[in-house]
Amino acid sequence: MPTDLVISPDFSLRSVNTFGIDARARAYLKVTQVGQLAQVLADPVLAAMPRLLLGGGSNIVLTGDFDGLVLHMAIAGRALVGDTVGDTAGEDGGSVLVRAGAGENWHGFVQWTLAQGLGGLENMALIPGTVGASPIQNIGAYGAEVKDVFHALTVFDVASGALRTMDAAACRFGYRDSVFKHADGAGLVIVDVTFALPRAWTPNLKYAELAQELAASALAAPSAQQVSDAVVAIRRRKLPDPAQIGNAGSFFKNPVVSSEQCAALLAAHPALVHHKQADGGEKLAAGWLIDQCGWKGRSLGAAGVYEKQALVLVNRGGASGAEVLALARAIQADVLARFGVSLETEPVFV
């Protein structure tokens, strides 16, 4: 085994997953340099182990102990790396390219870009986790998604042992989706991500709740920092802080149904929350569906549904992955029985 790989055996993962589930890993390595990934592959014992890539652990559910090697991505660094002219993010004035290491904290990176005078990431302030995981499910909030300002990323390809660059097309971004959540993206370790932030910034206030928050503060022409502050205020009101109560954010994706199914549901439930999609489908609010089934604030064992947001499942203290799964299955069954809509889980199950 290479001497500079500090492997911790039988490692508790409790402090590195925001659900606070007490599972253990056979081995754990904090990855601070890209070269460590090649060293892992060069070691026959480590290379043969199942691998789990871990960032901030804010979108995973540990369903049991992990009998393999956890690679905790902690590669640091953030920098302005250049300019582009006439790309999608900045046709009027071009954009500034900013790059961060996979292990950088996402919210810290957003605040750093704002301190450089660059807007573009402010609607996604306070999303937990790392920069490296941000493309995995194409994180999004308050009317923006990572794909809107994405430029490229670097992956370490476990199959070849080489680094390569992927552009947005190669990442196949969708709603809470990308190539990295599918079989052909397995074995790709994201080591850094580059964003193209517009020189000519204008606020994105298409999300009604955000526009109302700023209007309430009488901010007619907010700065990017003020938009970020408003997003942070909304999120602090609505979502549980994982440091206080374990959770993984939205537990289910918002389902997209056909316009016909939406019309039939609306006839029976006039208050149904729905938003038309570009392809003609209708996105429903999973939180509303779960709320209507009476789940808000309820618990099954030590797993519960958050009192202020029915889309968020929480750890009421010592919950196991099995308890969280049992609650999720019960909710899915109720929503299917009442509305005929299948809810797909959002976090990654390990």
Question: How near is the Cβ of 10 to ligand FAD at its closest, in Å?
Answer: 20
| Residues 188, 159: Cα–Cα separation, whole Å | 8
Q: Which of 309, 319, 321, 335 is in the footprint of ligand EPU by CB under 6 A?
A: 309
CB 198, CB 120: distance < 8 Å: yes
CB 75, CB 191: distance < 8 Å: yes
> Does residue number 53 form part of the binding site for ligand FAD (CB under 6 A)?
yes
Q: Which is nearer to ligand EPU, 250 or 315 (CB)?
A: 250
Q: Which of 36, 39, 113, 134 is in the footprint of ligand FAD by CB under 6 A?
A: 134
Token readout for 174 is: 């969708």
What is the per-residue DSSP string for 258-312?
-HHHHHHHHHH-TT--EEE-TTS-EEE-HHHHHHHTT-TT-EETTEEE-TT-TTE
Tell me phi and psi for residue 247, to 5 degrees. -170, 170
Binding segment toward ligand EPU, per CB under 6 A, in 84-92, 166-174, 255-263, 286-294: 286-294
Q: Which of 130, 154, 178, 204 is in the footprint of ligand FAD by CB under 6 A?
A: 130
> Does residue number 36 form part of the binding site for ligand FAD (CB under 6 A)?
no
> Does residue number 181 form part of the binding site for ligand EPU (CB under 6 A)?
no
Q: Which is nearer to ligand FAD, 26 or 269 (CB)?
A: 26
| Residues 46, 19: Cα–Cα separation, whole Å | 27
Q: Which is nearer to ligand EPU, 27 or 171 (CB)?
A: 171
Binding segment toward ligand FAD, per CB under 6 A, in 20-28, 34-42, 133-141, 197-205: 133-141
Number of H helices, E strands in the chain: 9, 20
Work out what residue 310 binds among ligand FAD, ligand EPU, none; the CB cut-off runs from 5 to 8 Å by kind.
ligand EPU
Binding segment toward ligand FAD, per CB under 6 A, in 1-9, 245-253, 288-296, 323-331: 245-253
Beta bridge partners of 51: 69
| Residues 116, 175: Cα–Cα separation, whole Å | 29
> Does residue number 137 form part of the binding site for ligand FAD (CB under 6 A)?
yes
What is the per-residue DSSP string for 11-23?
EE-GGGSTT----
Q: Which is nearer to ligand FAD, 5 or 334 (CB)?
A: 5
Q: Which of 141, 205, 300, 328 is in the footprint of ligand EPU by CB under 6 A?
A: 141
Question: How far is CA 31 from its chain centroid?
Answer: 20
Binding segment toward ligand FAD, per CB under 6 A, in 35-43, 128-136, 162-170, 296-304: 128-136
Taking 3-state DSSP, the helix, strand and coil percentages for the chain, each rounded to the nearest 5, stand at 30, 30, 45
Residue ranges in contact with ligand FAD by CB under 6 A? 18, 53-60, 73, 102, 127-130, 132-134, 136-137, 139-141, 180, 189-190, 239, 242, 247-249, 348
